[in-house]
Amino acid sequence: MPEVNRAAATSVVASHVVTGDEAGTVWTPGEVVWADGVIQYVGPPARGPVGRRIEMGEGVVFPGFVNGHGHAAMSLLRGFADDSRLMPWLTEHIWPIENRLTPEDVEVGTLLAAAEMLHAGVVGFADMYYFPGAVVRAAETSGLRAMVGRGLAGGAGAQAAVEEAVALAAELAGRGGRVAGWLAPHAPYTVEPPLAAMIAEAAQRHGLAIHIHLAESEEEGQQVRDRAGVSPIGWADEVGLLTGRTVVAHGVYLTEPDIARLARSGAAVIHCPTSNLKLGNGVAPVIALERAGVTVGLGTDGPASTNRLDPFQEMRLAAWLQKSATGDPAAFSARDALRLATRGSARALGWDSGVLAVGHWADLAVASWWAPHVVPHADPLSTLVYATTPGDVRYTVVGGQVVVDDGVITTFDEGAVLRESMNRARALTPS
């Protein structure tokens, strides 16, 4: 580290460093050093001079998770009207409440989600919701990275919404922080062709990324086929929404030609196993997608339906569902699941996180491995993916900033957010 100010460097030493690199490198024990927001050293403990050294003992340093798809502010509606069928859930419960949401609700709900994600080792998230300005404020307060965009649909005011999204993205790009804007057309069944064309054109002109729900349910596929004569992926491709910077949420019901189109376009897919399982939406063909060269990441979807924003649960489910769907316990491993949650999601969002390697962003997390559910830890990758929980995470570092420090969030008052969330949820939901 010749050019680094060592007094400004931070380091963590632990019994295990899971680098998350292509080769599956693990250091036992290991040290990671970062400075100026970038990783400077990964390897066996060298214990050179640093400004601060964190000694974890029995524990693991790993690349921070990237949550590739969600609606963070829906944390305020957590567990509200669970166990309902989709349409009554939306029309009778969720939409009437969402109609009453204020920007302040969205800001508090997003901070609540940010607290949950930070405690789980998440370093950044992808978002699609209302009041993007409020989401940006919460994301910036939290210290997390974020891709933010208002869900675009309909109807009246759609053109203005696209223009606002373009303006927000430009403003955020100018600011140069951890939060960026993108264009988030909701889904093929809520976006008419003229709006789709407008979004595609704006994305191309301004070089913006696109985030869209595609091929999530069988009904959606049927509806799009009835209306447009093509699959959801085919529709998106034809209207120009499938670009090298498109991030497709879900991607469950895919034909071979769909997968080939995705691969050709360079679009990425975010797998949301909990959401798909809970809503009875089948199992995404993750293995086939990756084999075809499509980047696949992992996402929690919104907490109103999936209840928790837990990347460990998503990794476990991703592995188990592929094993179960193929009938082969060796078909998808802990290492594969970790790749989705880290490098996969990061690549989908165009971020330089997801791996502990010199020169990459210092986006990482540290968990304790000293509890009866993670002892012994014969296989570090297996222990990280199948046994570790958010409750084990002690440190989360974003761009070199220690945002969770020995279990405490350093960027905002978590207790105040919990209290405010309780109050706002009570006011929003019928008692």
Residue type, 100: R
Residues 6+ apart with CB under 8 A from 324: 283
Least Å distance between CB 309 and a copy of itself?
A: 7
Give CA torsion, residues 186, 188, 194, 197, to 10 deg: 80
- Nearer Cβ to a copy of itself (344/400): 344
Q: What is the DSSP letter of 171?
A: H
> Which is closer to a copy of itself, CB of 103 or CB of 391?
391
Smallest gap from residue 316 Cβ to a copy of itself (A): 8
Integer CA distances (angstroms), 99 to 73, 91, 92, 145, in order: 14, 11, 12, 27
Q: How far is CA 184 from CA 103, 141, 190, 279, in A?
A: 18, 22, 12, 22
Report the nearest approach of a copy of itself to the CB of residue 122 (Å).
12
State the CB neighbour count (10 A cutoff) for residue 415: 10
By beta-carbon proximity to a copy of itself, the closer residue of 220 and 237 is: 220
182 vs 312, which CB is nearer to a copy of itself?
A: 312
Query: What is the closest distance, in whole angstroms, from the C-beta atom of residue 305 to a copy of itself in the complex?
Result: 9
CB of 324 to a copy of itself, least distance (A): 5
DSSP 370-395: -STTT-S-SSHHHIIIII--GGGEEE
Q: Is the dihedral of CA 12, 62, 365, 352 positive or negative?
A: positive
CB of 131 to a copy of itself, least distance (A): 19
DSSP labels, 174-187: HHTSSEEE-BEE--
**Terminal CA-CA length for the chain:** 58
> Please, which residue, 267 or 286, has the CB nearer to a copy of itself?
286
What CA dihedral angle connects 363, 368, 374 and 379, to 10 degrees?
50
Q: Which residues contact 313 (CB under 8 A, 6 or more apart)?
A: 274
Q: Which is nearer to a copy of itself, 246 or 368 (CB)?
A: 368
Q: Is residue 63 within 8 Å of 364, Cβ to Cβ? A: yes
Distance in Å, CB of 216 to a copy of itself, minimum: 14
The answer to whether 403 and 144 have CB atoms below 8 angstroms apart is: yes
Shortest distance, position 234 Cβ to a copy of itself, whole Å: 25
Minimum CB separation from a copy of itself for residue 389, in Å? 6
Nearer to a copy of itself, 245 or 394 (CB): 394
Nearer to a copy of itself, 276 or 353 (CB): 276
What is the binding site for a copy of itself (CB under 8 A)? 75-86, 89, 112-113, 115-116, 119, 274, 277-280, 282, 307-310, 313, 319-321, 323-324, 326-330, 332-334, 370-373, 375-379, 382-383, 386-387, 389-391, 414, 417-418, 421-422, 425-426, 429
Q: Which is nearer to a copy of itself, 61 or 384 (CB)?
A: 384
- The burial class, CB within 10 Å (0-12 / 13-18 / 19+), for 319 is buried
